[in-house]
Structure 1
Amino acid sequence: MAAETTAPPPSSSLPPPAAAAAPRHPRLSGFGQLDASVKELTSSQAELLEKIQKLKQEVQNWRSNVETQVRTCQNELQGLKKGLDSEVEQLKLEMEEIRSAIQEEKGNLPAQITNSETSNNDTEQALQTQVQALKVDTDASMEEQTATQP
């Protein structure tokens, strides 16, 4: 369009058919340049659309892979959680059994102490008897030695 405004007006000395042909030629070459630009833009647009579609497909594939990995991790975590829950329940049962055993032992403790005291008393009496027997033996032995001495 800039070519139209800068083109000189047709002179009257030129024949009308030549004057009409001259302005048409620059106008056609402008359309040719415009056509070439449109084709270039169209091909660039097609390339860009193709790149965008490829990128879009890559993003979809990436997202699908990530979702698969997330599901796999979630399943693994759920399995681990179930295993831990089971172990915790087992530990709770074992702790209850230990508590019960401790309570039972606490209940038996006074009886054991009494039995132990009785056993200690019996042991003490046996020891005292042995000590007395040793004293008697020692005293007798001393008397013999004194009697045998001149």
Structure 2
Amino acid sequence: MAESDPAPSSPLLAPAPTAKKEDLQPVGEKIAELNESQSELLGRLRGLKEDLQNWRSKLDTQVKTYKDELTDLKQTLNTELEQLRLDFQELRTTLQKQQEDVTASLKNLGMQDLDESRKEEDQQKNNAECEEAAVEGRNGAIQSEGSAAAESSP
């Protein structure tokens, strides 16, 4: 019986190492697959990082381009606004001169029926209306500049 004890235990031990080898073989394959998968993922990650860096540099370039264009547009707008102010002032001066010429002509013809105070009131109304129009023009330009600046800030 002593001999029979070692014999049954031997067959149990022998199949155990072969079972471990069989278990190790799929584990080895799994490790190889995981290593390959990890390599693929690392490659994709590197590619994504490069894409992100390229996108950021393109974005920075586009932002700079848009800021430059916005600055140019703002300068153009300010130049045009200043020209409009000068034109407006010139037209106002011309209109005042024409009013004075008409008044003088009417006086010379003796057809003047407005007294001096009424003419001054009319002239003051015209001046006030002209100044109001100029202020509205400036306010519109300032609002345009303000909204453009708000759009350009991050």
TM-score between both structures, scaled by the size of structure 2: 0.62
Tell me the distance in 2 between the aligned counterparts of 1:62 and 1:116.
79
Residue 32 of structure 1 is matched in structure 2 by 21
Tell me the distance in 1 between the aligned counterparts of 2:63 and 2:29.
50
Tell me the distance in 2 between the aligned counterparts of 1:87 and 1:110.
34
The answer as to 2:41 corresponding to 1:52 is yes
Residue 89 of structure 1 is matched in structure 2 by 78
Tell me the distance in 1 between the aligned counterparts of 2:82 and 2:7.
111
Tell me the distance in 1 between the aligned counterparts of 2:41 and 2:97.
82
The answer as to 2:39 corresponding to 1:61 is no
Amino acid corresponding to residue 47 of structure 2 in structure 1: E
Partner deviation per Cα, 1:75-133 (whole Å, 9 max, x = no partner): 10011011001001101110110111011011111243357679x9xxxxxxxxxxxxx
Question: SS in structure 2 opposite 1:69?
Answer: helix
Amino acid corresponding to residue 73 of structure 2 in structure 1: L
Alignment of 1:71-82 (within 5 A): 71-82=60-71
Amino acid corresponding to residue 78 of structure 2 in structure 1: E
TM-superposed deviation, 1:38: 1.4
Residue 92 of structure 2 is matched in structure 1 by 103
Tell me the distance in 2 between the aligned counterparts of 1:92 and 1:23.
100
Q: Larger relative CO (CA 8 A, sep 6+): 1 or 2?
A: 2
Amino acid corresponding to residue 24 of structure 1 in structure 2: L
Tell me the distance in 1 between the aligned counterparts of 2:55 and 2:99.
66
- Runs of 4+ in structure 1 deviating by more than 3 angstroms, as ranges, are 14-18, 114-118
Alignment of 1:122-133 (within 5 A): none
Amino acid corresponding to residue 14 of structure 2 in structure 1: H
Q: How many residue pairs align between the two structures?
A: 110
Percent identity of paired positions between Structure 1 and Structure 2? 10
**Which structure 2 segments of 5+ residues have no match?**
110-154
Considering only aligned residues, what root-mean-square deviation do their CA atoms show, in Å? 2.5
TM-score between both structures, scaled by the size of structure 1: 0.63
Larger Rg: 1
Tell me the distance in 1 between the aligned counterparts of 2:36 and 2:99.
94
